[in-house]
């Protein structure tokens, strides 16, 4: 089965906690080993000084990995985060963030991904993450 953006949005609605859904993430694209989600700007996600909080970016990277793995597997399967490493490179203010995931290795029980988070309209990433997921189903 090919996972389309509407399928990814349904995966979000059906499998994530309400506080994750409150981020307002939407699925822009899903490929065989990739996904792009949009994290919309919200003052509610800003920290002191007006920049988007690191916690929101990390949650977006973590969530987007699930969608990318679902795309690579042909649908959602139970999975859980094993590792998430994030570096923050520049602040994001008043802009949506595009969260682009590329699966670097998909095994039977583990998936590894590279995540780039870029403020819309910018060339340089705001943050970068690597994730490892255990595939449970």
Give all strands of the β-sheet with 34-39 in edge-to-edge order: 26-30, 34-39, 97-106, 110-119, 127-135, 79-88
Per-residue pLDDT, 49: 87
- Per-residue pLDDT tens digits for 91-132: 999 999 999 999 999 999 999 999 999 999 999 999 999 999
- Per-residue pLDDT tens digits for 31-75: 999 999 999 999 999 988 899 999 999 999 999 999 999 999 999
Which residues on adjacent β-strands are paired with residue 121? Answer: none
Per-residue pLDDT, 48: 86
Q: Model pTM?
A: 0.96
Radius of gyration of the chain (CA): 14
């Amino acid at each position: 089965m090919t996972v389309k953006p509407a399928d990814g949005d349904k995966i979000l609605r059906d499998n994530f906690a309400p506080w994750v859904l409150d981020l307002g993430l939407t699925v822009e694209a899903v490929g065989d080993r990739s996904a792009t989600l949009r994290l919309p700007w919200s003052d509610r996600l800003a920290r002191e000084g007006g920049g988007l909080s690191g916690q929101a970016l990390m949650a977006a990277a973590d969530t987007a990995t699930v969608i990318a793995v679902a795309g690579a597997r042909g649908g959602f399967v139970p999975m859980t985060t094993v590792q998430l490493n994030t570096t923050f490179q520049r602040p994001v203010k008043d802009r949506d963030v595009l969260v682009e995931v590329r699966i670097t290795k998909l095994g039977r029980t583990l998936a590894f991904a590279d995540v780039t988070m870029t403020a819309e309209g910018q060339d340089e990433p705001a943050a970068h993450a690597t994730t490892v997921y255990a595939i449970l189903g």
